[in-house]
Amino acid sequence: MNSAKHRILVTSHGHPDFHLGGGELAAYNLFKAYADHPDVEETFFLARHDRGRGPTGNIFPRRKNEYMWEQGVSEWLRMKMATPIGTTRHFAELIRELRPTIVHVHHYVHMGLEYLHVIKQIDPSIKIIMTLHEYIAICFNQGQMVKRGTNRLCFRESPDDCSRCFPEHSIEDFWLRKHRYQSFFGLVDQFVTPSEFLRQRYIDWGIAPDQIVMIENGQASGEMLPPRPLAEGETRNRFAFFGQINPFKGVSLLLQGLASLKKSERRKIVLEIHGANLEHQTPDFRDMIMELRGPLEKEGCLQWIGPYEPFQMAGRMAAVDWVVIPSIWWENSPMVIQEAFTLGRPLVGSDIGGMAEKITDGVDGVHVPVGNAKAWGDTLLRLSSCTEDWDRLRAGITKPISYADCARAHLELV
């Protein structure tokens, strides 16, 4: 650790005031935790924002030490920023004014890659730490690493495979895309991933093993929630999904799994959906969800609770027994896993990627074969009557690291 105190700028692709994604929350919570560290002089937060008038490149204050950047991307294949002047002038002015010793980049999506170059151009001694939240540099399909159109899992990256997914772009286009990313990533002093699975994917892609470390996202301190009180004869039969509702998150699998059970079996289960953004999905996906949802809600085995704010999470989890994460893509380190463990709720999750890494089958949760609707129905039915198993799995939970622990681990890198 250097003797001089650090000045840290955290950048993010969104502000939690407007975007409640896991990456945005992780970035903002770390920004606040840095401020409490004794070796930090001052911290700042810069979030990309869209006020509906397009990317102007302007930067304006949100509150003390927090700034919003009207930035965007003009070409997604190569992650080129929409307003170069917004970087060469406004962002550069901000760097000169704030004088950070560390810029912790929590994303480049919606902002472009070019701002990494500006940081080093102004002051090469500024350390750039980059947290990788998903596979966007590796995969052009929204960073999901699933095949376009079929959603089959993708196990490797290559220009040939990418061009088959996106025939409108040539093999050469994807070769150039990878080398553009690697060129800008060469400006980064240290990479961080919240899961070992993601770390290994980026090592395979080309980042040196000693340049990328795994540090889990921090969580709030505090005691676990007590178990949900049970009425006489009641079992641990309440399950809840928390998150975005889109084709990759697996909500349709949960509903199909419930629908595959007999009506007498469904009476033993209550599934709650706490989610948002269904209205932003394709008409076909929305229609499928609504068709599955209606009959199950009428029976009472499904309760569609809807969106939530972060401060509501504890209250909603207090009313359920299990948290389910049925994603059909690899995931990385879904925030809901750490949140559920912090609050003392076992997880039921797909058996791949970051979910399989973070949830230990038979210790603090249960794995379900990915993409298997019938297996999801059978698993919910089996667990709905396993009160003793629930007690054992809850006792097996290891509490995630705190925000302060997370900040300390990052500062040890510099």
Same CATH topology for 6-220+403-411 and 238-395: the answer is yes
pLDDT at residue 157, rounded to an integer: 87
Q: Are strands 212-214 and 190-193 parallel, antiparallel or unpaired?
A: parallel
pLDDT at residue 26, rounded to an integer: 92
Closest residue by Cα to residue 86 from 108, 66, 111:
111
Q: What is the mean pLDDT of the chain?
A: 94
May I ask the CATH class of domain 238-395? alpha beta
Q: Which two tokens stand for residue 192?
A: 């961080």
Flag whether pLDDT at 53 surpasses 60.
Answer: yes
Q: Which two tokens stand for residue 385?
A: 């009557």
- DSSP, collapsed to helix, strand or coil, labels residue 97 as helix
Mean local confidence (pLDDT), 125-141 = 96
Mean local confidence (pLDDT), 195-222 = 95
Closest residue by Cα to residue 98 from 8, 26, 27, 12:
8
Percent of the chain with pLDDT over 90: 85
pLDDT at residue 3, rounded to an integer: 57
Task: Summarize pLDDT for 289-342 with one digit per residue, the tens.
Answer: 999 999 999 999 999 999 988 889 999 999 999 999 999 999 999 999 999 999
Residue where the block lists tokens 């349709």:
252
| Banded model confidence at residue 34, pLDDT cuts 50, 70, 90 | very high
Q: Which two tokens stand for residue 85?
A: 């002047």
Q: Which fold has domain 6-220+403-411?
A: Rossmann fold (3.40.50)
User: How far from the centroid of its chain's Cα atoms is residue 8's Cα?
Assistant: 22
Task: Summarize pLDDT for 311-322 with one digit per residue, the tens.
Answer: 899 999 999 999
Flag whether pLDDT at 247 surpasses 70.
Answer: yes
Task: Summarize pLDDT for 179-198 with one digit per residue, the tens.
Answer: 999 999 999 999 999 999 99
- Distance from the first to the final alpha carbon of the chain: 6
Percent of the chain with pLDDT over 70: 99
Please list, in sequence order, all residues whose beta carbon lies within 8 angstroms of the beta carbon of residue 37, skipping any fewer than 6 positions away: 404, 407, 408, 411
Task: Summarize pLDDT for 73-105 with one digit per residue, the tens.
Answer: 999 999 999 988 767 789 999 999 999 999 999
Flag whether pLDDT at 60 surpasses 50.
Answer: yes
pLDDT at residue 54, rounded to an integer: 77
Flag whether pLDDT at 170 surpasses 70.
Answer: yes
Which of left, alpha, beta for 251 (phi over 0: left; psi -120 to 50: alpha)? alpha
pLDDT at residue 50, rounded to an integer: 83
User: How many residues comprise the chain?
Assistant: 414
- DSSP, collapsed to helix, strand or coil, labels residue 8 as strand
| pLDDT greater at residue 259 or residue 19 | 259
pLDDT at residue 85, rounded to an integer: 79
Flag whether pLDDT at 123 surpasses 70.
Answer: yes
Rounded CA separation 239/320 (Å): 6
Q: 7-11, 50-54, 196-200, 386-390: which range is least confident on average? A: 50-54
Alpha helix positions (H), 324-386: 335-343, 353-358, 373-383
- 6, 18 in Cβ contact below 8 A? no
- 118, 88 in Cβ contact below 8 A? yes
The residue ranges of every structural domain in the chain are: 6-220+403-411, 238-395
Flag whether pLDDT at 1 surpasses 80.
Answer: no
